[in-house]
């Protein structure tokens, strides 16, 4: 009686023994070219199926893509072309100069006002420092001696910023900036809405819509941000109440919309709408705590769902409508 195969046995290792193949080279029927009639097909057993699979795998060789034309490899190997998702924006006539600069995607309207005051903006080759100046149809506006025009295509990109990345357009020391992660997505000149310091991770919005950026970043519009902070030690309940009742920092009060414990007393969830520099870190440092990790997990109505660290995506039309309604 034959033994039944057990779990762990190698397939066909003990049930089929390899026999030496004897070939008579004198017989002309051995060569396929000499065969005139095809032999009838025989039923294959499990051993023959197994051997044919192994031999077919040996014949397959990897394709060297450097020596093959990519067009002949089929759609699977075609280079992915990213089409920028833009939203058409109307261009107004007789637009104020600071708004004109913001619509050109240079910066926000507030920053544009600062540039105008410094004399970095020219209209028809004449420096204009008047805030209420309205740009006419035939005017040529220059910013830092470069002609600028309002863009008709607005881009909105949401990035999950990693650590050790600078939230600026350029860095003199050659460090990575947030633009390094979105440069392949669009050819438009975009900039971040608000800032995250180098060691803070999480959601960051980038756009070339200056008016939209100003409304989201200005604290008067009440756009909330939720952070997850990990402290060096457990937060005392009394200190939690102090933060909840608004701390008085060096540059003024620091109101908090909500604050709660997370998984443990060292992990804190905090919601704020003020956008002062390093405000969350300074709130905890004021009470003697050090923030080891800080992650922005929610920005207005946007979350980190389906956005891994270091990745980004375009906003949907519905998300843009909701954000403009909030602002």
Annotated catalytic residues are 197
DSSP 210-269: HHHHHHHHSGGG---EEEEEEESSPPPHHHHHHHHT-EEETTEEE--SEEEE-SSTTEEE
- The span from the CA of 136 to the CA of 95, in Å, is 8
| CA-closest candidate to residue 194, choices 227, 164, 217, 223 | 217
Residue 203 CB contacts under 8 Å (≥ 6 apart), including other chains:
158, 159, 160, 161, 296, 297, 298, 299, 302, 303, 304, 307
Helix (H/G/I), strand (E/B), else coil: 272: strand
In the numeric block, which tokens belong to residue 172?
């003199």
In the numeric block, which tokens belong to residue 323?
């954000």
CB neighbour class for 286 (10 Å; exposed up to 12, middle 13-18, buried from 19) = middle
Question: Running DSSP on this structure, what letter comes out for residue 103?
Answer: H
In the numeric block, which tokens belong to residue 318?
């519905």
- The span from the CA of 46 to the CA of 48, in Å, is 6
In the numeric block, which tokens belong to residue 75?
């759609």
- The span from the CA of 168 to the CA of 31, in Å, is 73
């Amino acid at each position: 009686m034959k033994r039944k195969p057990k779990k762990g046995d190698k397939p066909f290792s003990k049930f089929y023994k390899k026999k030496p193949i004897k070939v008579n080279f004198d017989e002309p029927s051995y060569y396929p070219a000499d065969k005139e009639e095809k032999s009838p097909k025989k039923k294959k057993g499990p051993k023959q199926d197994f051997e044919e699979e192994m031999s077919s795998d040996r014949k397959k060789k990897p394709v060297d893509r450097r020596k093959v034309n990519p067009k002949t490899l089929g759609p699977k190997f075609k280079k992915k072309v990213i089409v920028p998702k833009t939203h058409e924006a109307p261009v107004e006539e007789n637009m104020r100069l600071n708004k004109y600069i913001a619509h050109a995607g240079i910066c926000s309207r507030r920053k544009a006002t600062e540039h105008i005051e410094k004399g970095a903006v020219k209209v028809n080759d004449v420096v204009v420092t008047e805030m209420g100046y309205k740009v006419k149809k035939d005017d040529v506006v220059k910013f830092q001696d470069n002609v600028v025009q309002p863009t008709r295509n607005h881009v909105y990109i949401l990035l999950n910023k990693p650590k050790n990345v600078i939230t600026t357009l350029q860095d003199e020391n050659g460090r990575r900036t947030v633009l390094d992660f979105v440069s392949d997505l669009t050819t438009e000149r975009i900039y971040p809405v608000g800032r995250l310091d180098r060691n803070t991770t999480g959601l960051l919005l980038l756009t070339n819509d200056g008016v939209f950026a100003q409304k989201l970043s200005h604290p008067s519009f009440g756009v909330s941000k939720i952070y997850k902070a990990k402290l060096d030690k457990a937060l005392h309940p009394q200190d939690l109440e102090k933060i909840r009742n608004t701390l008085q920092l060096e540059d003024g009060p620091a109101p908090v919309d909500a604050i709660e414990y997370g998984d443990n007393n060292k992990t804190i969830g905090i919601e704020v709408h003020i956008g002062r520099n390093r405000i969350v870190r300074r709130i905890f440092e004021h009470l003697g705590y050090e923030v080891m990790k800080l992650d922005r997990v929610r920005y207005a109505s946007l979350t980190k769902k389906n956005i891994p660290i270091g990745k980004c995506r375009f906003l949907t039309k519905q998300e843009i409508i909701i954000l403009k309604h909030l602002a």
